[in-house]
Amino acid sequence: MPPLLPALTALMTLTLSASVAADVQRIEPPHWWVGMQQPQLQLLVQGPGIAARQPSLQAPGVRLKSVQRLGSPNYLVLDLELTPQAKPGWLELRFDGAGQPWTQRYELRQRAPGSAQRQGFGPQDAIYLVVPDRFAQGQASKTLPAHLVEATGTRQDPGARHGGDLAGLRAHLGYIAGMGFTQLWPTPLVENNGERYSYHGYAASDFYAIDPRFGRHADYLALSAEARALGVGLIQDIVLNHIGASHRWMQDLPSPDWVNQWPSYTETSHAHMSLLDPYAAPSDRERFASGWFTQQMPDLNQRHPVVANYLTQMSIWWVEEAGLSGIRTDTYAYSDRDFLARWTARLMAEYPRLNIVGEEWSPHPAVVAYWQRGKTNHDGYRSSLPALMDFPLQGALLAALTETDSHSGGFAKLYEALSHDFLYAAPEQLVLFAGNHDTPRFFSLLKEDPAAAQMALAFMASTRRIPQFFYGDEVLFTSPAQRDDGQVRAPMPGGWAGDVVNAFSGQGLSPAQREMQAFVRRLFNWRKTEPLVHSGQLMQYTPRDGVYVLFRYQPAQKRRLMLVLNKNEGETRLALARFPEMTTGLARVRGALGGAAPQLQDGVLTLPARGAYVLMLDE
């Protein structure tokens, strides 16, 4: 294959044109749509010496408003306006200069019906997180473009590519839906062309190309459509803060300030508090926001208006192209915060019901709350971000189940963490998890205690949050207690031909694994149809004697959901009179997940053993 063709394969797949002109190497976005809320469209055009040429176009309803030339001679920025008269079809862009003019076709498409009003994920949903390289392999042999520098390695190497792909993920969508999950979040699938550790996807070398090791662009669109047919929405993981060092921009920056430049390599301080600290030194804030995440992840300068617009249009493009129900944004607070305010506002204006969840990895509720839409902040900062990952409550949940109870430890930490919901504009939009791809496996952190694991999951499913579950936890994956990404992101058993153990079929699972998988299936299938956990109000009671209790309810209804987490090893008697606001007049108790409920006699619940009890109380 000639050397140029591999780099263009993904671009051709995206139908930039029927026959790509050799002089125009790339246009991004690869295509666009008429009828968007924002009529402006900015094209980043790349080609050798193209900045010396004069672009023009003639198309009904489309106007070339302005042309920007950047620092590199190999880029042009075209600012178009798509008026209401613009129609789907092909435009012809012309670039005049020395010698023959260059011409390039560009496609405008019709939006899918109802696209703008798509329903994003929310409290009615439960998210299943997968690392695609480690989940399942559906196509063992692939012909890969020559420019990819890391091939599939051995599954015995935790840092290598293991070969999981979109075909494998598609083959097991029925399993994910059958477990009760209604949203799928894969870690990034766009091309990552690093020499090592490229499987994780967080160092993009092409924002618009699905990594060929996962499959084709068409496979990704098929994943979205097939998941949607099963009642499962697709959430795309998008990185705004940085790119991979192998991105083509790093060989030819469109402008010198395209990435944040320092006299020598300068890493971010990771000092999240510096952005909110009223006493912070400006240099500390700059170091956090503009320092590079790692030496292999150059930090994008979102204060450059073209960079900011590129990232915004790229995000919108994927929502429209793949029919997404949401976006998960990695390393959210590390990006320029003024850019983030504009980025979230633009996406929510285009898709008012979309959901976007940001990763702000902080144990402090005040820091997480700062970024949520509707929050009145001390410095006047206003965000349009609907959701955030709830790291503070996650930490409190694990502490509650591993620490001895006291006035400030154990269940008291969970109670107090949840009581901080007064800081959030919309606590029900926070995404709660017991573990994810960046943390040790929660079963290991809970000292491999199945009862504690069930308590954690029952709380996730019952409290006022959007639960996120990490693949493999249903079959009790373990890992070192300290962060070890390769071990945490272990291959799903049954995802590869020849696996003796198969989590999808149940073959070879231990009794404990089968029991946990069945519990997860019952829990999240129940949650899928229970309106009290989707929109009910919440009341919690102070923990006592090793027991924590919360209720979900609607004021106009007598029916109540009661969650009891019991850490006591022996039989525990729980008097319902202790919860008068929630139990007066309610005399019947049944297990929400099926099976026998704790015995109720003379107003006293008898809990037979340590564990989680999800109960429905009726008149």
Where in the chain are the domains? 4-110, 132-239, 535-618
pLDDT at 98: 86
Residues recorded for the chain: 619
- Contact indicator for 120, 326 with CB cutoff of 8 Å: yes
- Contact indicator for 573, 582 with CB cutoff of 8 Å: no
Do 4-110 and 535-618 show the same overall fold? yes
pLDDT at 17: 39
By C-alpha distance, which of 29, 74, 19, 223 is closest to 138? 223
pLDDT at 141: 87
Long-range contacts of 576-584 (CB under 8 A, 24+ apart): 576/600, 576/603, 576/604, 576/605, 577/603, 578/541, 578/544, 579/541, 579/549, 579/551, 581/539, 582/539, 582/551, 582/553, 582/617, 583/617
Mean pLDDT, 10 residues at a time, the chain of 619 residues: 34 38 86 97 97 95 97 97 96 93 96 97 98 96 90 87 97 98 98 93 97 97 98 98 97 97 95 95 96 96 98 98 98 97 98 98 97 96 98 98 96 98 98 98 98 98 98 98 95 97 98 98 98 98 97 93 96 94 89 88 92 93
Mark residue 419 as left, alpha or beta (left: phi above 0; alpha: psi -120 to 50; beta: remaining).
Answer: alpha
Q: Which residue is listed with tokens 């920056």?
A: 253
pLDDT at 305: 98
Catalytic positions, written as ranges: 330, 359
What's the chain's Rg over C-alpha atoms? 26
> How many CB atoms sit inside 10 A of residue 451's CB?
17
Which residues, 6 or more positions from 161, have their beta carbon under 8 angstroms from its beta carbon? 133, 150, 151, 152, 153, 198, 199, 213
The SS3 of residue 588 is: strand
pLDDT at 22: 53
pLDDT at 9: 36
Alpha-carbon dihedral 591, 593, 595, 599, rounded to 10 degrees: -20
Q: Residue 153's Cα: distance from chain center in Å? A: 26
pLDDT at 298: 97
Q: Are strands 466-470 and 537-544 parallel, antiparallel or unpaired?
A: unpaired
Distance CA 111, CA 89 (A): 12
3-state secondary structure labels for all residues of 65-122? EEEEECCCCCEEEEEEEECCCCCCEEEEEEEECCCCCEEEEEEEEECCCCHHHCCCCC
- Contact indicator for 360, 388 with CB cutoff of 8 Å: yes
Alpha-carbon dihedral 495, 526, 545, 400, rounded to 10 degrees: 40
Is domain 132-239 in CATH 1.10.10.1100, yes or no? no
* CATH architecture of the region 535-618: Sandwich (2.60)
Q: Which CATH number is 4-110 given?
A: 2.60.40.10
Token code pair at residue 460 = 């996730």
> How many CB atoms sit inside 10 A of residue 575's CB?
11
